[in-house]
Amino acid sequence: MRLYRIPEAMERLSMSRSIIYRLLRSGRLRSVKQGRTRLIPADAIGDYIALLEQEAEAAR
């Protein structure tokens, strides 16, 4: 499983640091910690994208 640091997750999702941390605090984006480093699992990014797609579909 691939783990992304916050700057990498920012790039993959095209979002700012503050948005990423807001998503982490709200639980919409999962993360793990290794020592003092916060890492975002690749499947957590996929899950978040799937959530956005579901919300978009529900809004139709």
Model pLDDT for residues 1-40, shown as the tens digit of each residue: 899 999 999 999 999 999 999 999 999 999 999 999 999 9
Q: How far apart are CA 57 and CA 53, in angstroms?
A: 6
Model pLDDT for residues 29-52, shown as the tens digit of each residue: 999 999 999 999 999 999 999 999
Each domain of the chain, given as residue ranges in start order, spans 3-58
